[in-house]
Structure 1
Amino acid sequence: MKTPDTHAKFEETWESLAKIEREPEWFKDAKFGIYFHWGVYSVPAYGSEWYPRWMYAPGRKDWGGDIYEHHKKTFGPVSQFNYHDFIPMFTAENFDAKEWAELFKNSGAKFAGPVAQHHDGFAMWDSKLNPWNSKAMGPKKDILGDLFVELKRNNMKTIATFHHERLLQRYAQDTAKWAQNTPDPGDDSHFPYHPDYITSTTDPKLRLLYGNMPEGEFLDYWLNQVNEVVDNYAPDIIWFDSWLDRIPEKYRQKMVAHHFNMATSRGQHPIVAYKQEDLPANVGMLDIEQGGKTDLSQDYWLTDITLSNDSWCYINGQTYKQPSLVIRNMIDVWSKRGIVLLNISPMANGTINNEQRNILSTLGKWINKHKEAVYETRAYSIYGYGDANIEKGYFGGQSATISYSKNDIRFAVSKDKKYMYIYALGLPTPNAPLEIRTDIEQNVKRVSVVGSDAELKWSMAGKRLTIQTPEATAMDELATVFRVEFD
């Protein structure tokens, strides 16, 4: 690796940080990345990755409300069995960094990486700062480091996601927000506080896991862990979940400046991704959780979505989306200048089950067949049209699980503008005229189906193109892509 240039290029101000190449070419080309929620919370495999929070919250009727009783019944009361007691059960014996990297590459992803640290305070790298890490205990493996090595061998970019900004115990003095006093304990701390719980521990080591430390110490602990990953593993993207706005501005500026300076000194083109309004829009890359923009965006953006229908981490009885749903919603994102970050969920022993593997294989085959219409494409003047019922997402924009059909059309163009790609989000009617209901300004030379050399009959009426579709076997039931070549 190139020796870093210690001369700081970016200062710790938003004005200076806004000078970064915020939308690097590799990111525009990539279209698709994979990450995964995998950690100690994968051991109980129940409810969701928020198990470590809700196991300490009795009396809840809402989301996660059955976890407290489930934990008590299955593992014992929290006076006897705490979250850290799951760590020896997080074995990861089936984790194979080489095989995982190849799986991700074959699925069509151009970048990948783990949830480096979730809200639970357990680090998935060989940390010298956080004793609660996957190398020191549990798997006894440097999950992030081993995977990054293999991803880079496959010429893939890397991403590390951070969610630990809400680890700090912020409610020790606010009795109304304590667990047992309310079914909805203080939301800006992941582990509910109560003096009778381990979450109030002052043990020098345990308090680091449960976030019970002075705010100033926590902020340094938070920042230094992000910097440790940046320094030791050189991620191309660092990504932050909601609650980053709970970190004071000067710490956020330090974090971004360090990432930009280290990465650019290595010759990388780095990105920092954020949610809501947690970073300035001219510095970071906006991520919309489980959804997307409703129209063509002027800026590039990111969406993180699940392969599963419910939890982000593996849970018993987990169900998964149909490949057609995933692919069609991905195409919609791409047509609006979006990039997809797809989450998968390994089991605690490091198994990525066949249900997920089969979906990833289907994605990979579709993308490989249509790769000229996926990578290195750019948005058209409009994203498309159709009659799908557009549902609102929980985190802004539209849902990531919209049911599209052959009546929903999306567009893209090649970087050199020689080709236009028309995506039908369902199998078009075979041997029938398909009118493209938008103006095409360039002169059309020929029309064909991507994945086939056969030319199609077509006609122009003014600026409107009509394509004569081929036999069903010459198209793709997941999504058919027509290639329009211009003079």
Structure 2
Amino acid sequence: MKFKILLVILIGTLISCQNIQTENKKYEAKWSSLSKHNESPQWFKDSKFGIYFHWGVYSVPEFNSEWYPRNMHLKDHKVYKYHLENYGHPSEFGYHDFVPMFKAEKFNSSEWARLFKDAGAKFAGPVAEHHDGFSMWASKVSPWNVYDKGPKKDIMMELKNSIEENDMKFIATFHHAKHLQRSKTINQENPLSHYPFLDDMPTSSNDPELSLLYGNMDENKWYENIWFGKLKEVIDNYSPDIIWFDYVLDEIPEKFRKKFAAYYLNNSNDKEVVIVRKQHDLPQSLSIEDLEQSRKNEIGNKTWMTDATVSDGSWSYTKNLKVKSASKVLHMLIDIVSKNGVLLLNVSPKANGEIPKNQIEVLESMGRWLKKNGESIYGTEAWYRFGEGPTVQPEGHFKNRDIFHKLEYSSKDIRYTVKNYDIYAIFLGEIKGNQKVILKSFSKEAITDLVRVKDVELLETRNKLNWNLESDGLHIEIPDGKYDELASVIKITTDG
């Protein structure tokens, strides 16, 4: 009798556990189910600014770009010639030979995290894996990782701990959809694959270990074991708040993209997680749209993201890398935020783990400005109009990146944000003292009947300003003085 009672209790417990598991696994691997996910939680909308970094084995040669591992195999490319002169023929000194040289001996996750926090970032994290197949975490999926080779430590775990200790969310970016070799004919290179399949080169090796680095393996096994396997490993062991994808994601069969999304959402430990993608590689209802090195020219109806780099060239560190001015990076952030966007800014550490001084100076300048004026950025929304001024910018997307790089704003260019009953007018340059400015977006023709101004102040000084609302806009008197050379913010308080 006791045995029967115990059996009934055991069966009941098993059924109960199964029911709990079913409740936890609330998303099915179907777009209709996955689209129920809130793709843009409030914390992400409010964050506005995050930092990541292209740092890995490709940082070792310090030449050209993070695409060194591909271009070193292409005879007509300058990287091939550089590699030949400095390291030898790629058949004799392959990309895998750089791995022991990636030591990260000066890397300090605590210093990095403090720098990012002081810069004003609300989330931060690494390029988890670029196109090259080398993982920046302690991986059991592939031996080509920072724990087993190179630095011989779990870079991602150190970063995660330090970033979260500094009250930032954790992002991991994945670029590994391009890792698979999609051409298996000798002397072929495929634009959808990072490594070319070349005779007598390590990229065409059948060595089981080398093939895991160079992506020369069975396609179906790669999708399951490598593409999904690495994502699963990072989700299980590092629990990122944001997973961001580079392009070529649409080359991953749909069933695996659905499988990833369902697994991530069902194993998020009750966190409000975010998925970011480019183009139309995942449904908009499930994910955030990213515009690389470009941005929207109007207010987005949903939260969106721009990923851009602090430099004017390579995303990874190279010798003599030119860095953008702090004003250019800050103006980009302000423009993005005024249009309902979020900036993901890349920095480029050296292979040894040092972040160059000129990049640090840009981040520190941004941090000082955001410390004074952050209320005009964080937690804000787009106003009815993103801004006004003479500078015209193109429609977004990567093809127009060079035009965006050349954009130069002035204090005549103004961007607006709003929070509760406060409207912020941000001047993209040093505002001159002893003058009157007119905010035309407050003209009677536009919204005068809808907005009742109560108070106007200059945020950096907290001084009240004289103002008058007229038919052509809001007239504001700027007193004599010297103001922030990066940007100035006028806070307009209304009664709703």
Task: Give the TM-score normalised by structure 1.
Answer: 0.93
**Residue type of the alignment partner of 1:56:** H
Structure 2 portions without partners, runs of 5+ = 1-19
Alignment of 1:277-288 (within 5 A): 277-288=280-291
User: Counterpart of 2:333?
Assistant: 330
Q: 2:329 & 2:374 partners in 1: Cα distance? A: 16
Structure 1, 97-106 or 380-389: larger mean CA deviation: 380-389
Identify the match of residue 450 of structure 1 among 451, 455, 459.
459
> Could you tell me whether the CA contact under 8 Å between 2:279 and 2:289 is conserved in 1?
yes
User: Counterpart of 1:343?
Assistant: 346
> Could you tell me whether the CA contact under 8 Å between 1:10 and 1:17 is conserved in 2?
yes
Q: Check if 1:104 corresponds to 2:107.
A: no
**Residue type of the alignment partner of 1:204:** P
Q: 1:425 & 1:472 partners in 2: Cα distance? A: 17
User: Counterpart of 1:250?
Assistant: 255
Q: 1:307 & 1:423 partners in 2: Cα distance? A: 22
Identify the match of residue 229 of structure 2 among 203, 221, 224.
224
Give the SS at the match of 1:258: helix
The Cα of 1:396 is off from its aligned counterpart by 5.2
User: Counterpart of 1:51?
Assistant: 68
User: Counterpart of 1:92?
Assistant: 104
Q: Check if 1:461 corresponds to 2:473.
A: no
The Cα of 1:216 is off from its aligned counterpart by 0.6
User: Counterpart of 1:20?
Assistant: 37
Q: Check if 1:172 corresponds to 2:184.
A: yes
Alignment of 1:286-301 (within 5 A): 286-301=289-304
Q: Deviations over 1:303-334 (max 9, x none)?
A: 10010110000001101001111111110000
User: Counterpart of 2:314?
Assistant: 311
User: Counterpart of 1:190?
Assistant: 194
Give the SS at the match of 1:103: helix
**Residue type of the alignment partner of 1:210:** Y
Structure 1 portions without partners, runs of 5+ = 60-64, 180-184
Give the SS at the match of 1:291: coil
Alignment of 1:131-142 (within 5 A): 131-142=143-154
Structure 1, 439-448 or 363-372: larger mean CA deviation: 439-448
**Residue type of the alignment partner of 1:27:** F
Give the SS at the match of 1:483: strand
Identify the match of residue 207 of structure 1 among 211, 235, 239.
211
Structure with the largest fraction of helix: 2
Q: 1:189 & 1:325 partners in 2: Cα distance? A: 33
User: Counterpart of 1:380?
Assistant: 383
Q: Check if 1:123 corresponds to 2:135.
A: yes
> Could you tell me whether the CA contact under 8 Å between 2:393 and 2:404 is conserved in 1?
no
Specify whether residues 244 and 275 from structure 1 end up closer, same or farther in structure 2 by C-alpha distance, changes over 3 A only. Answer: same
Q: Check if 1:267 corresponds to 2:284.
A: no
The Cα of 1:385 is off from its aligned counterpart by 1.4
Task: Give the TM-score normalised by structure 2.
Answer: 0.92
Give the SS at the match of 1:481: strand
**Residue type of the alignment partner of 2:475:** T
> Could you tell me whether the CA contact under 8 Å between 2:323 and 2:358 is conserved in 1?
yes
User: Counterpart of 2:490?
Assistant: 482
Identify the match of residue 364 of structure 1 among 356, 367, 392.
367
Percent identity over the alignment? Answer: 44
Aligned length: 465
Radius of gyration: which is bigger?
Answer: 2
Q: Deviations over 1:60-104 (max 9, x none)?
A: xxxxx2000100100000121000000111010111011111110
Give the alignment's Cα RMSD to 1 decimal. 1.4
Q: 1:472 & 1:49 partners in 2: Cα distance? A: 45
Structure 1, 388-397 or 69-78: larger mean CA deviation: 388-397
Specify whether residues 252 and 368 from structure 1 end up closer, same or farther in structure 2 by C-alpha distance, changes over 3 A only. Answer: same
Q: 2:423 & 2:206 partners in 1: Cα distance? A: 62
**Residue type of the alignment partner of 2:171:** I
